[in-house]
Structure 1
Amino acid sequence: MLAIHNVGQPATEARLVPRERVVPERIVKPGGPAQREFVSAFTLPRTGAALFQLVADRIDSRSTLTHEPEVTARLRDEARSRVNEHFDTFTKGDVLVEQGQAIGEEQLILLRMEHEAAQSARSLGERAGRAVGILGLVAALFLLTGYYVFWHEPRIAGHLWHITTVCGLVVLCLLVVRLLANQTWNAEVMPVAIAAMILAIAYSPHFALMASFGLSLLTCMTLGSGISYFLVVMGGTAAGALALNDVRTRTKLIKVGATAALGYLLLTWAAGLWEHQSIELVRSDGLWRAGWGLMAGFFLGGSLPFLENAFGIVTGISLLELGDITHPLLQELVRRAPGTHNHSITVGAIAEAAAERIGANALLVRIGAYFHDIGKMLKPHYFVENQVGSTSRHANLAPAMSTLIIIGHVKDGVDLGRQHHLPEPIIDLIEQHHGTTLVEYFFHEANRRSGANPDGSTVHESAFRYPGPKPQTREAAILMMADSVESASRTLSEPTPSRIEGLVSALIDKRLRDGQFDECGLTLREIAEIRECLIKSLIGIYHGRVKYPEQRTA
């Protein structure tokens, strides 16, 4: 309906008329829609055009009506207010949508209204029962997760910050899922995939698999979805999380996103065929979910530095960047303490092989070995590997003072690491690689001098021990063993395989009896495998070579 009046009349004379009774001026102009429609009715277009022109010449080309938009809106509102509302009533048993009928906007609104009416019609007891059921499921899920974390994820269970970040991530994921709900592009799978991948990077793929189950279940409860949707979300998310075993390149994250995308796509098709959905709907849902799974990988690649800071973790990408020889600390170590640097490189090589043998973080051990003795660069010539000449700097020092210098390299290394913003896992390796072991040479020297002096005071063993802590992780324990056996092997005049084997076994057994491995989680089987691997590596380093004719000594 349009409000119009004759040209020359005031706007108050406007009246509502049907739109189809008003011919816009542009339609009857030459070349307009009216002419084209008129001409198309004739077999000979020229005849039709001539007749139209004959009629058009006799029509007044001036406008005869004026349209009033504001009056049109007011009169429409008044007409609408005079119409009584009409409601369709449906009773129990009535068919809302016939089977096989295409669901348009009207049918969709009707179904949503029926669902809302059914929800509001529930009694207080039914609502309370549903709430109790949901709380019970959530409580059971959290208890199961808590049990798993307590026994299998000590890094989370023992730190309030890690517990807080994990819980916050879960809550944030569910909030984003709720915001993205009821959209046609299935974007709610993306926050679930991102959350699971973050947990896989921060902790372990196995914990991420456990979290994927919980997140998928909570997502289905939030959206009110069925078992097929749960399987789709769970399967695709788990595929991406389990692929995150070791992140050393950013392209790995894109591959992980592609793995999740493939999982979403295949499971969407499987669920759709199972539920007899239309091919068009299955294709659309599958492509949307696959796209969001791939986007999750790209998102992680860009946000990885922020995730490392938030969760206090270090990824393979960051470790490889730290291991670059151009790092300022490593360059300074080469200049000030070349012997220590050479020792660190060797320790890193043999420790990495041992870590790979038992499934520990080999890259973390190797890079940690590069930095574990950086504290020695402050007093390099007090350490035998940097000593120039046959005279030792400790010759004129008391054993207690020499011990303080030796022990001090750990604290100095931690301070240097923090000044250069090394990740906490690397600093932990620096701090723990000697544990609470005894500085035996100077302890025995102090006892010898005390025994030779009748007035000598009692030598306390605690004064000659490193302050610790003992190794808290498998990686720290491996570094301790590799560091000690590499240093001791340099003292062998003839490093034969049997002597190397005896030396390594004796040193590791001494650390074991001293309780240095009590807090790191290593098993006796793993210690035996580490011992075997270290022996093999050292024999390879000190292998015999064929003498050349002009060579007197090897």
Structure 2
Amino acid sequence: MSTATPKKTRSERVASVELPPGRWTALAHNLRRGPVLLRLAICALAALLLWTITGGWAPPLEYHLGEIPHRDIVARVTFQVEDADATEEAVEQAMDTATAVYTQNPQLIIEVKNRVLNELAQLAGAKSIDEADAAIWASYQPNLAEGTPAPTEKERAEQFLAFNKQLTEDTENKIATALSTVLKPLEQWGILKDLPREDLATSTEIEIQDAASPQAPVIKQINDVLLVNVRDQVQRRLQQELPSLELANRIFARLYDDLPATLTLNEDATRAAREAAAEGVTSVMKEYVKGKDVLAHGDSPIDAAEFELLEAGHTQRLKNLTWQQTLAYTGANFGMYIALYTLCGFYIYKMEPRILRDLARFIGVLAAVVLAVALMWLTFRYHRQAEVIPLLLFGMTMAVAYSQPLALLLSTAVTLIGVTAIGADLHEAVVLMATTAGAIIVLDSIRTRSKLLSVGFAAAGVAFFTNLGVGTLHGDPFSNTLQVALWLALWAVIAGSLMTCILPLVEKLYGVQTDLSLLELGDPAHPLLQELVRRAPGTYNHSINVASLSEAAAEAIGARGLLVRVGAYFHDIGKMLKPGYFVENQSAGGNRHDSLVPAMSTLVIIAHVKDGADLARQNKLPEPIIDFIQQHHGTTLVEYFYRQATDRRENDPDASEVDESSFRYPGPKPQTKEAGVLMLADAVESASRVLVEPTPSRIENLVEQLTQKRLLDGQFDECGLTLEEVRKIGDSLVKSLTAVYHGRVKYPEEKKAKTG
């Protein structure tokens, strides 16, 4: 039976040809991947947080306290605000006209009535004026009309007898009945001696509560209970109730001065009544008509009263928005978020892919954006122009953590979101972006503690002059423009000072090392370096030489030379655990590897990478330094012991096969340009020690061989080094090593003096 593959038809061959997916197909495929969906969900959450914090469903108020508008601001909607003065006047009037509460004591009226009846009984029992109590009888004398002469003794005696004659038993009963009838209303309503105090003088009524009875309070007109009016009422009613006018007049004369004030002002109840009256007053509203009433005048700063009107009008405007308008504004905000996400996302994808690969970094960047916008929104409400502080802090943080171009792009995005949220104008956005850009551009490296403060002063200068220029173009008054410029400059200096304080936190959160922290870390007095000197002085000397070579090589390609130098100090600290197994620490005695098989020697040599990383973590060295320790050998081959094992295999056919992977470092390969530089410098420095005559040509040949070997082995595949940069690194290493091994003048030996 034939096993040949069946021949395909032409149509089958055509159908079998599969072209790579197009751009949109590839994009759709990537969007369905789990990690991509997760990151998109985080972006959506960040957008939702921004929308919530900044009130992205409603437009902000366009005007601010102290702003100088170019023209009068007219009401955009009809609205009402409380007229505070009119409302206060209405409240005061309500309190003044509130019903005062008095407590009635009827016992005082009863006592007066009983006293009068007793006195009348005494007068009725007297046969003559001489037997009567003179004081009592005097109290029953009506006031004489003006010009009327006083009665004589005889006339007084006759008047007493006439009065006494009227006080028969039957008359006494009528008097008692009349007094009860006349005084009964007074027992219920009481007597008010004087008008209420000044704050109650406008009230026409009072509320009367019986102190001894739980009956409902009675509302009476003040005139009905005022003593002066009560006297007239008592006189008229006595005249009506008593049988003779003379009798009525004499009893009234007795009661005239003895009618007591039975009403006492209840302070607590009156205060409560006044407060209740005040609370019952509705606010007096003043209406501002759309397109007619001026809320703030142009060419003068908006004061507190005008700003309050603007806020009230804005609030009413928001209430008048339909759900369609709210939805449209919300959609516009999210559209801006999507546009900025797209712009920044493509840049990060092309230039900073590590942010997308590392979920923690990705979340950190988005969290910083949300925090910056939130702080801009909050600080703006504390003081206008203070929003530049969180914006500057954000821009400097991104520049320190990643790169200046990324910081510029993200700061621009944050500025756009922030000014939209606070309702700032375009010229204010230009000033904010210029100020932040100035700080980011100046922030190239941080080698001193005063660097960030100087960055703050540089940003202050940019803010000051940019605001002067933009304000002049905008037509703002020079005095106001100058004031705003000075405030911006002050906030910029404060931002630089704050960044100095939070720099250690930024380094820890984003896993970066500034030049300042690297200088502190590279101090020879560091405990790990001191221990390396004590245990492995040869390795320490090797590390110092590698640091010098790698720093110059890194700077030749524009990489961070200081970072490579500090990384070189620590890259071989793992050797201090077994220093005798490394050639630079071995004395003239025997080699410890002579007693070990090649595989075991390889394990000992390779172990210094893991030991060094463990030591670094134990002593809390930063991750970038640990990366140098783990990556400076990459996955290179331990050639010396690999060749020994190969030779033994060739001489002993029964020996097991040599597995090359067992003789390679575990890696990873260098992930950054700086790690690639350190790998080459470490290899070249070690190999140059065995050169018999380190001439420039031999050094150049050595560097070329080691470079080609690393290239062909793929050690630079993941660090981003280009062939041009590799060539520059090699040239720098050759120059540095040539300078180290330069020829020296041989001085003639000292000749001994001849003796005769």
Q: What's the TM-score once normalised by structure 2's chain length?
A: 0.63
Distance in structure 1 (CA, Å) of the matches to 2:472 and 2:410: 28
Name the CA shift for 1:82/1:340 in 2 (closer, same or farther; >3 Å). closer
Distance in structure 1 (CA, Å) of the matches to 2:628 and 2:381: 49
How far 1:165 moved relative to its partner? 1.1
2:479 aligned residue (280, 294, 305): 280
Where do residues 82-97 of structure 1 align in structure 2 (5 Å cutoff)?
85-97=284-296
Distance in structure 2 (CA, Å) of the matches to 1:477 and 1:254: 34
Where do residues 284-323 of structure 1 align in structure 2 (5 Å cutoff)?
284-323=483-522
How far 1:339 moved relative to its partner? 0.8
Q: Secondary structure at the match of 2:446?
A: coil
Distance in structure 2 (CA, Å) of the matches to 1:308 and 1:98: 50
Partner residue in 2 for 1:215: 414
2:453 aligned residue (245, 249, 254): 254
Q: Secondary structure at the match of 1:469?
A: coil
1:15 aligned residue (182, 198, 214): 198
Name the CA shift for 1:442/1:83 in 2 (closer, same or farther; >3 Å). closer
Aligned identity (percent) is: 47
1:205 aligned residue (400, 404, 408): 404
2:551 aligned residue (327, 349, 352): 352
Partner residue in 2 for 1:133: 332
Distance in structure 1 (CA, Å) of the matches to 2:282 and 2:376: 42
Residues 175-212 of structure 1, C-alpha deviations (whole Å, 9 max, x = no match): 12222234444211111111111111111122111111
Q: Which amino acid aligns with 1:465?
A: R
How far 1:12 moved relative to its partner? 10
Q: Secondary structure at the match of 2:350?
A: helix
Name the CA shift for 1:87/1:468 in 2 (closer, same or farther; >3 Å). same
Q: Which amino acid aligns with 2:440?
A: A
Q: Which amino acid aligns with 2:623?
A: E
Residues 434-475 of structure 1, C-alpha deviations (whole Å, 9 max, x = no match): 000001111111111111112111111111111100000001
Distance in structure 1 (CA, Å) of the matches to 2:538 and 2:723: 33
Q: Is the 8 A contact 1:180 1:188 kept in 2?
A: yes
Distance in structure 1 (CA, Å) of the matches to 2:335 and 2:360: 26
Partner residue in 1 for 2:639: 440
Q: Structure 1 residue runs of 4+, over 6 Å off?
A: 1-4, 9-12, 68-74
Q: Is the 8 A contact 1:253 1:300 kept in 2?
A: yes
How far 1:348 moved relative to its partner? 0.2
Name the CA shift for 1:10/1:196 in 2 (closer, same or farther; >3 Å). farther
Query: Can you give the 5+ residue segments of structure 2 that lack an aligned partner in the other structure?
Result: 1-91, 97-191, 202-266, 751-756
Name the CA shift for 1:519/1:134 in 2 (closer, same or farther; >3 Å). same
Name the CA shift for 1:275/1:452 in 2 (closer, same or farther; >3 Å). same
Q: Is the 8 A contact 1:16 1:72 kept in 2?
A: no
Distance in structure 2 (CA, Å) of the matches to 1:546 and 1:257: 53
2:393 aligned residue (190, 194, 203): 194
Distance in structure 2 (CA, Å) of the matches to 1:11 and 1:521: 102
Partner residue in 1 for 2:615: 416
Where do residues 33-432 of structure 1 align in structure 2 (5 Å cutoff)?
75=274, 78=277, 85-100=284-299, 103-432=302-631
Distance in structure 2 (CA, Å) of the matches to 1:357 and 1:298: 33
Distance in structure 2 (CA, Å) of the matches to 1:267 and 1:380: 61
Q: Is the 8 A contact 1:162 1:311 kept in 2?
A: yes
Distance in structure 1 (CA, Å) of the matches to 2:360 and 2:194: 72
Name the CA shift for 1:100/1:425 in 2 (closer, same or farther; >3 Å). closer
Query: Can you give the 5+ residue segments of structure 1 that lack an aligned partner in the other structure?
Result: 19-67
Q: Secondary structure at the match of 1:250?
A: coil
2:722 aligned residue (494, 515, 523): 523
Q: Is the 8 A contact 1:16 1:75 kept in 2?
A: no
Distance in structure 1 (CA, Å) of the matches to 2:362 and 2:745: 59
Name the CA shift for 1:72/1:353 in 2 (closer, same or farther; >3 Å). farther
- 1:548 paired to 2:747: yes
Residues 204-244 of structure 1, C-alpha deviations (whole Å, 9 max, x = no match): 12211111111111111111222111111111011112222
Distance in structure 2 (CA, Å) of the matches to 1:11 and 1:104: 49
RMSD over aligned Cα atoms: 2.6
Q: Which amino acid aligns with 1:236?
A: T
Distance in structure 1 (CA, Å) of the matches to 2:276 and 2:282: 10
Distance in structure 2 (CA, Å) of the matches to 1:329 and 1:82: 79
Q: Which amino acid aligns with 2:651?
A: A
2:680 aligned residue (454, 469, 481): 481
Q: Count residues in correspondence.
A: 499
How far 1:278 moved relative to its partner? 2.0
Q: Secondary structure at the match of 2:439?
A: helix
1:453 aligned residue (652, 655, 667): 652
Distance in structure 1 (CA, Å) of the matches to 2:577 and 2:195: 96
Distance in structure 2 (CA, Å) of the matches to 1:100 and 1:202: 45
Name the CA shift for 1:440/1:100 in 2 (closer, same or farther; >3 Å). closer
Name the CA shift for 1:534/1:17 in 2 (closer, same or farther; >3 Å). farther
Q: Which amino acid aligns with 2:452?
A: L
Partner residue in 2 for 1:28: none
Q: Is the 8 A contact 1:14 1:71 kept in 2?
A: no
Q: Which amino acid aligns with 2:721?
A: L
Name the CA shift for 1:229/1:504 in 2 (closer, same or farther; >3 Å). same
Residues 507-533 of structure 1, C-alpha deviations (whole Å, 9 max, x = no match): 001000000000001111111111111
How far 1:433 moved relative to its partner? 0.2
How far 1:265 moved relative to its partner? 1.6
Name the CA shift for 1:490/1:275 in 2 (closer, same or farther; >3 Å). same
Name the CA shift for 1:12/1:484 in 2 (closer, same or farther; >3 Å). farther
Q: What's the TM-score once normalised by structure 1's chain length?
A: 0.85
Q: Which amino acid aligns with 2:421?
A: T
Distance in structure 2 (CA, Å) of the matches to 1:77 and 1:193: 54
Q: Which amino acid aligns with 1:300?
A: M
Q: Secondary structure at the match of 1:136?
A: helix
Q: Which amino acid aligns with 2:738?
A: I
Partner residue in 2 for 1:462: 661
Distance in structure 2 (CA, Å) of the matches to 1:70 and 1:263: 67
Q: Which amino acid aligns with 1:289?
A: L
Residues 233-270 of structure 1, C-alpha deviations (whole Å, 9 max, x = no match): 11101111222211111100111111122222222222
Q: Looking at CA atoms only, which structure, 1 or 2, has the larger radius of gyration?
A: 2
How far 1:80 moved relative to its partner? 8.1
Structure with the bigger RCO (C-alpha within 8 Å, sep 6+) is: 2
Distance in structure 1 (CA, Å) of the matches to 2:288 and 2:195: 41
Q: Which amino acid aligns with 1:327?
A: H
Distance in structure 2 (CA, Å) of the matches to 1:73 and 1:103: 41
Q: Secondary structure at the match of 1:478?
A: helix
Name the CA shift for 1:86/1:339 in 2 (closer, same or farther; >3 Å). closer
Q: Secondary structure at the match of 1:87?
A: strand
